[in-house]
């Protein structure tokens, strides 16, 4: 493991352009449940007898906003109750040391921003939980925490419309702006791509990895378990992101 850490650190040190892809496993180290573990929700059906993908979908927000918000509120409470960990801090510090280092995250908790990752090199592909906005009049409402203790769904103070967070729900399209920024950067190429705490095999996760391999780049995974993308990578660092990333950073000098 130590030899692999040094090998990865050396590759990062030499690299100009780096992409770090983060998933739920990174925030799990903050005590946030991973996608399949939110209060056991995702391991079967909800109390209403629905798959969670149906409860947390765009169509459900339209036809039964109270039901959709029941589970959005649980997500919101979990995210607000935790905070960034040493893994988020190590990534932000690496971005400070390496101006060509980008972060692509599937997480909606906002912890990368809280840890200091620069917005101009952060792509939140699934959006974020705040600020809320009104689906009817577009007014913004930054008081997510306050709404979680009121009757759901939250309503717009201006027009009474249903508020929603700027997240990508199931059956909704990914934001064009985020996809555009990602593919613009992928097109420019990356010397090193690091997947942290993600098991997802979505095209926008796999493609930067495949492209880097094709162009002679170095690819790494940080995850306690092997995943669907492990077989395509140069190095698998087994362990918690909050342990592995600070260790990696300790071998990379600042500029």
Better-predicted residue by pLDDT, 35 or 62: 62
| Residue in 88, 112, 126, 255 annotated catalytic | 126
Residue 98 confidence (pLDDT):
97
CA 46 to chain centroid? 23
β-strand partners of 39: none
Residue 171 confidence (pLDDT):
96
Mean pLDDT of 144-161: 95
pLDDT at 150 over 60: yes
To the query of whether residue 147 is one of the catalytic residues in this protein, the response is no
Closest CA to 222 of 253, 201, 247: 247
Residue 141 confidence (pLDDT):
95
Quick one: tokens of 17?
């352009």
Quick one: tokens of 105?
């995250």
Percentages (nearest 5) of helix, strand, coil residues in the chain: 45, 15, 40
The verdict on whether omega for the bond into residue 153 sits within 30 degrees of 0, i.e. cis, is: yes
Lowest mean pLDDT among 31-35, 54-58, 163-167, 198-202: 31-35
H helices of 56-201, in order, are 58-63, 65-81, 86-97, 111-115, 144-147, 176-188
Better-predicted residue by pLDDT, 59 or 52: 59
Residue 199 confidence (pLDDT):
82
Better-predicted residue by pLDDT, 23 or 32: 23
Stretch (H or E) spanning 196: strand 192-196
Quick one: tokens of 2?
């130590």
pLDDT at 162 over 50: yes
Mean pLDDT of 52-65: 95
Alpha-carbon gap, residue 104 to 195, rounded angstroms: 9
β-strand partners of 105: 22, 124
Residue-wise pLDDT tens digits, 204-241:
889 999 999 999 999 999 999 998 889 889 999 999 99
Burial (CB count within 10 angstroms: exposed 0-12, middle 13-18, buried 19+), residue 55: buried
pLDDT at 156 over 70: yes
Closest CA to 217 of 16, 54, 26: 16
Closest CA to 35 of 55, 54, 52, 47: 52
Sheet architecture: strand order including 163-164: 140-141, 132-134, 163-164
75's torsion region: left (phi>0), alpha (psi -120 to 50) or beta?
alpha
Residue 38 confidence (pLDDT):
46
Alpha-carbon gap, residue 208 to 232, rounded angstroms: 12
Query: Please, what are the domains in the chain?
Result: 1-32+85-129+166-255 (3.40.50.1220), 34-81+132-164 (3.30.1600)
Alpha-carbon gap, residue 194 to 199, rounded angstroms: 13
Residue 39 confidence (pLDDT):
45
């Amino acid at each position: 493991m130590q030899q692999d850490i040094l090998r990865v650190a050396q590759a990062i040190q030499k690299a100009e352009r780096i992409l770090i892809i983060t998933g739920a496993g990174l925030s799990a180290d903050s005590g946030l449940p991973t996608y399949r573990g939110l209060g056991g929700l995702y391991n079967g059906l909800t109390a209403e007898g629905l798959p969670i993908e149906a409860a947390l979908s765009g169509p459900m927000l339209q036809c039964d906003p109270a039901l959709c918000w029941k589970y959005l509120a649980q997500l919101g409470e979990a995210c607000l109750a935790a905070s960034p960990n040493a893994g988020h801090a190590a990534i932000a510090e690496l971005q400070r040391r390496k101006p060509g280092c980008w972060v692509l995250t599937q997480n909606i908790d906002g912890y990368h921003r809280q840890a200091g990752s620069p917005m101009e090199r952060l792509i939140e592909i699934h959006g974020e939980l705040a600020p809320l906005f009104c689906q009817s009049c577009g007014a913004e409402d930054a008081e997510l925490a306050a709404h979680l203790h009121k009757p759901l769904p939250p309503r717009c103070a201006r027009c009474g419309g249903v508020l929603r967070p700027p997240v990508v729900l199931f059956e909704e399209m990914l934001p064009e702006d985020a996809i555009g920024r990602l593919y613009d950067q992928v097109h420019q190429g990356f010397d090193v791509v690091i997947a942290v705490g993600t098991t997802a095999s979505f095209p926008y996760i796999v493609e930067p990895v495949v492209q880097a391999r094709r162009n002679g780049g170095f690819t790494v995974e940080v995850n306690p378990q092997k995943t669907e993308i492990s077989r395509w990578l140069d190095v698998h660092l087994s362990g918690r992101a909050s342990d592995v990333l600070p260790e990696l950073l300790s071998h990379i000098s600042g500029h």
